[in-house]
Amino acid sequence: MLVNSRRLEIKQLTKVALKALQTNKSRSFLTALGVIIGVASVILLVSVGSGLKTYITGQMQDMGSNLIMIVPGDIDLDKMSAGSGQMQTADLAVMTSKLKLEHMEEIKKEIPEIQGAIAIVMVSSPVNYKRESKIIQVIGTTEDYIEIRKTEFYQGAFFSKAAVNSGRKVAVLGFKIAEDLFGEKNPLGKKIELGEARYTVIGVIEKKGGQGSMSPDDKIFIPLTTAQHQFDQDNVNLIMAEVHSSDEISSTISQIEQVLKKRLGEKEFSLLDQKEILSTVSNILNTLTAALGGIAAISLLVGGIGIMNIMLVSVTERTHEIGLRKALGATPEIILMQFLLEAVFLSVGGGIVGIMLGCGGTVLLNKFMPSVITPWSVLLAFFVSAAVGIIFGIMPARGAAKLSPIEALRYE
Amino acid sequence: MTKNETVLKLENVFKIYKMDGISVKALNGISLSVKKKEFISIVGPSGSGKSTLMHIIGCLDVPTSGKVILENQEISQLNERQLAKIRNKKIGFVFQQFNLLTRTSALENVALPLIYNNTDELKIREKAKEALKMVGLADRLNHHPNQLSGGQQQRVAIARALVTNPAIILADEPTGNLDSKSGVEILKIFDKLHKQGKTVVVVTHDQNIAARAQRIIHLKDGQII
């Protein structure tokens, strides 16, 4: 019976609160807008953050789980994810790399577990064909690249070991580059200008999709030695070694370490594998996502203050009405509930619209950049908006509940 | 129930306000009792303590000292919450300014006290309709206050006071905001209520209105004279 009557009371109070909100439609809407924007931006920014994470880790997985990367410099991924200045030292290390082609050949020869290995030089260079000119990332590498990177060919073939050894001026184009420079025409056998030298196109790599460092689509590949000669470089930026299975990774890493230590200082090279990179990258991106969400949460707080402000105004405006309701038998608790419900309806209503906008926005945004709706951010945004209503509604509502009926009735 | 049963009894009631360190005795030892079905009026010039007395009778305030007994219940020690419940059940207010909720229909205005005592929704409508019928506004259920004349608005307010079937109908200058013709209509309603057996207390400074009551209580300087 008591429960039943409570329910009746809540129902009546809900009606009263909704009616009050309806009476000031535009004011209610503007107040809710603060929460709408807050909730939508939390969802949107978290979506972008986690979209980025999904995308980047996806790219990393493309790398293959059987690969070990040997990079110049002393890179500690744990420290990197903790956000120190390690990124810059890594950049510097690439420029002052002590890694050489010989190191690759040596580990290939000495360690039987290594199935294949490639060395890579990365430079950006202007590329010309007839009137077309672009700045393109040029990858100088060795003949096993297609093997290790599991690359399919659209036309032609990759350069051979002989081409690498003799530094032949031949080029293999990424699919998008071929499309951009040659359009419908067959690029095989054509000459392109790469910096000051002319290269013969001998192959086009099949379209792989995606972008960034792992996709071959927007890159040009030339033999490593040719690249070193043309760009006046005797080191390499990266060595990749492949093992038969991911179980062999850790043992192979320590073997490579031993071999390379004979030639290089301890701080002149680092070994990374996919698992390690993945966990680091996802750590960094989780931090980024949390930071984005946190920034957006500030706007939710501002929205809450907006609710408190308007509720204070509403209580003052309706002092006389509060006095009347009290005279007619509304207890302080009922008045408190009435105004609290009003605040909660504003914030939860705003929260629901914000969730719809945030989700809709994510779907739209996904056409331009990777973004994924995360259920936890939706739930969190909803409950935070409800909490905002209660927290920022309680102060004005208590003020209303405490009013003396006599004073309030006298108020004009 | 006997005819002479006491509904309200005040015993040596004092109300003292402290303003800027000075004590003001708004009520200075008031004792009175109101019997069931009685129609009394309380008159006095402004500053005589009329409003304070009305607030105490209406359970909007408690005395500084003395006893207030409403239907055998001592109310002078009750808290805000308990007073609200008593007001809801036992007092029907009629104010000078009508105090209707704007943008709310006559029916909903009359229903207002009922939503605070958990009456069933269907019964609320029924009771509110009945009360409006009693004041002659059965055809104005869905009109809003701004669509009604002053006299009609006050009749809605009276219906609101009746709807809970309270122990006392307490009216504060009920004709103060009305022209004389509407005022007379309202007074006729009070007469009618009295004849139907309601207990009515009217607070006024107008001797003509007071004269309609069975008994007139004159107040001056917080005392009955």
Q: What is the mean pLDDT of chain A?
A: 85
List the single residue in A5, A324, A405 with the smallest CB-CB distance to B118: A5
Per the CB < 8 A criterion, the answer to whether A138 and A170 are in contact is no
Percent over 70 (pLDDT), chain B: 98
A384 pLDDT more than 60: yes
One-character DSSP codes across A108-145: HHH-TTEEEEEEEEEEEEEEEETTEEEEEEEEEE-TTH
Task: Copy the structure tokens of residue A42.
Answer: 């939390």
User: How far is B220 from B114, CA to CA, in rounded Å?
Assistant: 36
pLDDT at B40: 94
Q: What is the pLDDT of residues A15-74, one digit of tens each?
A: 888 988 998 899 999 999 999 999 999 999 999 888 888 888 877 776 667 888 888 887
Q: Is A212 exposed, middle or buried (0-12, 13-18, 19+ CB in 10 A)?
A: exposed
Q: How confident is the model at residue A79 (pLDDT cuts 50, 70, 90)?
A: low
Distance (Å) from the alpha carbon of A412 to chain B's nearest alpha carbon: 11
Q: What is the pLDDT of residues B122-176, one digit of tens each?
A: 899 999 999 999 999 999 999 999 999 999 999 999 999 999 999 999 999 999 8
A334 at B interface, C-beta within 8 A: yes
B85 at A interface, C-beta within 8 A: yes
A96 pLDDT more than 80: no
Higher-confidence residue of A82 and A77: namely A77
Please tell me which residue of chain B has the smallest CA distance to A335. Answer: B116
Percent over 70 (pLDDT), chain A: 91
Give residue A207's Cα distance to chain centre: 24
Per the CB < 8 A criterion, the answer to whether A400 and A335 are in contact is yes
How many of the other CB atoms lie within 10 Å of CB of A16? 22
pLDDT at A85: 45
* B17 located within any domain: no
Q: How confident is the model at residue A248 (pLDDT cuts 50, 70, 90)?
A: confident
* B19 located within any domain: no
Can you point out the beta strands (E) in A45-96? 67-72
Q: Assign residue B136 the CATH number of its domain.
A: 3.40.50.300
State the total domains in chain B.
1
* B88 located within any domain: yes
User: How far is B13 from A267, CA to CA, in rounded Å?
Assistant: 94
* B29 located within any domain: no
Task: Copy the structure tokens of residue A360.
Answer: 């809709």
CA-based end-to-end distance of chain A: 40
Can you point out the beta strands (E) in A189-248? 191-194, 197-205, 219-223, 238-243
User: How far is A359 from A346, CA to CA, in rounded Å?
Assistant: 20
Please tell me which residue of chain B has the smallest CA distance to A320. Answer: B99
Q: What is the pLDDT of residues B58-80, one digit of tens each?
A: 999 999 999 999 999 999 889 99
Q: What is the pLDDT of residues A349-383, one digit of tens each?
A: 999 999 999 999 999 998 888 888 888 889 988 89
* Residues on chain A touching B160 (C-beta within 8 angstroms): 328
Residue A391: which of A355, A343, A349 has the closest Cα?
Answer: A343
pLDDT at A210: 60
* Residues on chain A touching B164 (C-beta within 8 angstroms): 329
Three-state secondary-structure class, residue B79: coil
| Interchain pair A334, B118: CB under 8 A | no
| Interchain pair A328, B112: CB under 8 A | yes
A293 pLDDT more than 90: no
pLDDT at A194: 87
pLDDT at A6: 67
| Interchain pair A9, B118: CB under 8 A | yes
A325 at B interface, C-beta within 8 A: yes
Task: Copy the structure tokens of residue A158.
Answer: 């990759």
pLDDT at A91: 54
pLDDT at A52: 87
Q: What is the pTM of this model?
A: 0.73
pLDDT at A164: 87
Residue B58 structural domain: 35-64+77-224
* B83 located within any domain: yes
Distance (Å) from the alpha carbon of B24 to chain A's nearest alpha carbon: 18
Q: What is the pLDDT of residues B101-128, one digit of tens each?
A: 988 999 999 999 998 887 888 899 999 9
pLDDT at A135: 87
Per the CB < 8 A criterion, the answer to whether A295 and A38 are in contact is no
pLDDT at A93: 55
* B127 located within any domain: yes
Distance (Å) from the alpha carbon of B38 to chain A's nearest alpha carbon: 22
Q: How confident is the model at residue A1 (pLDDT cuts 50, 70, 90)?
A: very low
Task: Copy the structure tokens of residue B186.
Answer: 């309202």
A388 pLDDT more than 70: yes
| Interchain pair B116, A334: CB under 8 A | yes
ipTM of this complex: 0.94
Distance (Å) from the alpha carbon of B216 to chain A's nearest alpha carbon: 25
User: How far is B171 from B93, CA to CA, in rounded Å?
Assistant: 6
- For residue A154, the surrounding DSSP H or E stretch is strand A153-156
pLDDT at B1: 45
pLDDT at A82: 45
Tokens 């309202």 correspond to B186
Task: Copy the structure tokens of residue B99.
Answer: 């105090």
A326 at B interface, C-beta within 8 A: yes
Average pLDDT for B181-191:
92
A317 at B interface, C-beta within 8 A: no
* B7 located within any domain: no
* B135 located within any domain: yes
Q: What is the pLDDT of residues A216-241, one digit of tens each?
A: 888 899 999 999 988 888 889 889 89
pLDDT at A63: 67
pLDDT at B103: 87
Residue A280: which of A45, A71, A87 has the closest Cα?
Answer: A87
Residue A172: which of A161, A159, A154, A181 has the closest Cα?
Answer: A159
Q: What are the residue ranges spanned by the domains of chain A?
A: 8-57+282-410, 99-264
A132 pLDDT more than 80: no
